[in-house]
Structure 1
Amino acid sequence: MTPTDTAPGLFDGLFDDAAVFPPGDAPMADAVRLHRERWATPQAPLLGPFICSFPRWAELTGELTGGAPLAVSLTLPSGADQVDAAIAEVGAEPRVRLVALEVPASAATLSTLIAALDRYAPPGVPTYVELPLGDVTPAQVAALVGAGLRLKVRTGGVVASAFPSEPALAAAVQAAVRGDAAFKLTAGLHDPIRHRDPATGFEHHGFLNVLVATSRAIDGADTEAVAAALADQDGARIAAAIAGMDAVTAARVRRHFVSFGTCSVVEPIDGLRHHGLLREEQR
């Protein structure tokens, strides 16, 4: 396919490096080394931060022997209970630059988490709250936005049930857009286009599909139309829709869909190259 320049910034910072998480499970030493090496390549603008869970914090810092501080998005799997200790630990480490927090919650625990973040979280550091898909309602999105927080949604995993249906994910995207929330996704999005994995049989969402679906939600499309964008397995059609986005549309889409965590940043970049969507300077 002949490469086509896309709107400037459409893919910038889209791929958060979750190499140490399943199913990749890269050793920490290899993951940190490769992350730093990628920042010296033409694809560096596409990369987001290195993602690490707080239980592996000591393992991460043990691999930081020099160079510029590592930009890290820190996940707190124990939720509100870990906020105080994690912030204290990170604040004492000059070799890390904390650029985001990712914390799970539910509708029932969200107010407790908001109180903990309000008390301990450093100002200016975005926090993504991972809600179960069923809890991503207009009311919960409004609570997040009112507290200055962002939404995180899980789109895959190591079991089939971790992959949401198109209508369920479409409803979450619509709730975020209508509630003026920024969101990130995590897991299962290595490939640009919706597909069934031949090895596992799992139905994976495509990150280009999500970009198109977000654009449709911004334009006021109903849930059925947003879900149709998520379900489309025609790579040429989705790639053409992406290539046709102007700079204003791209900026509006990325203001909502900020990034996604992937245990392989190589695969999505190769996917963009395959569909001819990398800008000339990044090929």
Structure 2
Amino acid sequence: MPLPLAFRHLVDDAAVFPPGLAPLPRAVTEHAGHLASAHAALVGPFVIGADRLAELAELAGPELFPDGLRVSVVTAPAAIPAVLAALAATDRLVPAALEVRPDPAQPLRDQIDGLAAQSLPGAMYIEAPRPATPAWSEALAAVRHGFRLKFRTGGTEAAAFPTEDEVAAWIHDTVAAGAAFKCTAGLHHAVRHTAPTTGFEHHGYLNVLLATARACSGAALPAVRAALAERDPETLARAVTALPAADIAAARAAFTSYGSCSVLEPLEDLAALGLLDATP
């Protein structure tokens, strides 16, 4: 059975990043396994730091990836020339995107304009500042260059998790600007929850999907926030299932993917909610 549009290529494989921190050789082998599995359509590119491209190219042999390994490269603006050189030096890595974390010591608008002046491969994501900061409006200016935004929705400490109000503002403003975005960190499960071991408030990727659909259909900010706040799995699953196909398509055009250190956890959550069949 084909994977529903709502979940196609939803999960970028960030296995080597915290909290997973998988050894790169194992992560590469497991990524190849995901791409050869029944859930291959769930999986997006392999996310890798700029400093590990050469190591990754050695591991991405044609026996694992006959057409090359699609990668999304996390980089600082200053490292982009080295990234482009590393990608040009191998035919094993296929650039799907660059995920740029701006230098906080430099004006954001200048960095965005500098990136726009370069010829860059794949999609370009600019990591966004919190929406209450003056830099947020500058981040939205990236839209005029065709860039996308990247929202950091969690981390290894409580302060790294933005509030529902912040994520709602991110989504609402970005959709209103006609831009697309991805998320990274913290979206370990489908539904918003409090992690029992840390007490951290985790957003759910289904909540983000529903909130994006609401924003795309013209809902006001409180309705977007309400979708992010929903904690009941059955209620959330019903709401997502009830979305018209056009709303799903619009939501996924806006919410392109999210980076996860596990591909199987999202798969298992969706299966548990009855939203897809996880049978191998």
TM-score (norm 1): 0.91
2:214 aligned with 1:200, yes or no?
no
Contact 1:213 1:229 in 2 (8 A): yes
Query: Structure 1 pair 164/153, CA: closer, same or farther in 2 (3 Å)?
Result: same
**Residue of structure 1 equivalent to 2:83:** 86
Task: Choose from 238, 241, 244 the match for 2:242.
Answer: 244
2:151 aligned with 1:189, yes or no?
no
Matches within 5 A, 1:119-130: 119-122=118-121, 125-130=122-127
CA distance in 2, matches of 1:208, 1:234: 11
Query: Structure 1 pair 142/165, CA: closer, same or farther in 2 (3 Å)?
Result: closer
Q: Which amino acid aligns with 2:214?
A: R
Q: Which amino acid aligns with 2:270?
A: L
**Residue of structure 2 equivalent to 1:20:** 16
Q: Which amino acid aligns with 1:175?
A: D
CA distance in 2, matches of 1:14, 1:170: 19
Unmatched 5+ residue regions in structure 1?
A: none
Contact 1:167 1:227 in 2 (8 A): yes
Q: Which amino acid aligns with 2:43?
A: L
Q: Which amino acid aligns with 2:192?
A: R
Query: Offset at 1:92?
Result: 1.7
Query: Offset at 1:7?
Result: 8.7
Query: Structure 1 pair 282/250, CA: closer, same or farther in 2 (3 Å)?
Result: farther
Q: Deviations over 1:68-101 (max 9, x none)?
A: 200100110xx22111121121122101111110
CA distance in 2, matches of 1:137, 1:115: 16
Contact 2:129 2:135 in 1 (8 A): no
Q: Deviations over 1:117-155 (max 9, x none)?
A: 422413xx1000002223587733542111110000100
Task: Choose from 16, 29, 32 the match for 1:36.
Answer: 32
**Residue of structure 2 equivalent to 1:212:** 210
Query: Structure 1 pair 75/138, CA: closer, same or farther in 2 (3 Å)?
Result: closer
**Residue of structure 1 equivalent to 2:222:** 224
Contact 1:83 1:120 in 2 (8 A): no
Matches within 5 A, 1:87-102: 87-102=84-99
2:100 aligned with 1:103, yes or no?
yes
Query: Structure 1 pair 82/46, CA: closer, same or farther in 2 (3 Å)?
Result: same
Contact 2:47 2:71 in 1 (8 A): yes
Q: Which amino acid aligns with 2:178?
A: D
Task: Choose from 44, 51, 60 the match for 1:55.
Answer: 51
Q: Deviations over 1:230-257 (max 9, x none)?
A: 1110110000011112211110000100
Q: Which has the higher contact order (CA 8 A, sep 6+)?
A: 1
Query: Structure 1 pair 64/213, CA: closer, same or farther in 2 (3 Å)?
Result: same
**Residue of structure 2 equivalent to 1:115:** 114
Contact 1:7 1:245 in 2 (8 A): no
**Residue of structure 2 equivalent to 1:72:** 71
Query: Offset at 1:218?
Result: 1.6
Query: Offset at 1:114?
Result: 3.0
Q: Deviations over 1:137-181 (max 9, x none)?
A: 773354211111000010011001111000011000001110000
CA distance in 2, matches of 1:252, 1:116: 27
**Residue of structure 2 equivalent to 1:262:** 260
Count residues in correspondence: 274
Query: Structure 1 pair 53/110, CA: closer, same or farther in 2 (3 Å)?
Result: farther
Query: Offset at 1:19?
Result: 0.1
CA distance in 2, matches of 1:87, 1:190: 31
CA distance in 1, matches of 2:215, 2:57: 40
CA distance in 2, matches of 1:250, 1:73: 24
SS in 1 for 2:6: coil
CA distance in 2, matches of 1:117, 1:86: 16
Matched-pair identity in %: 41
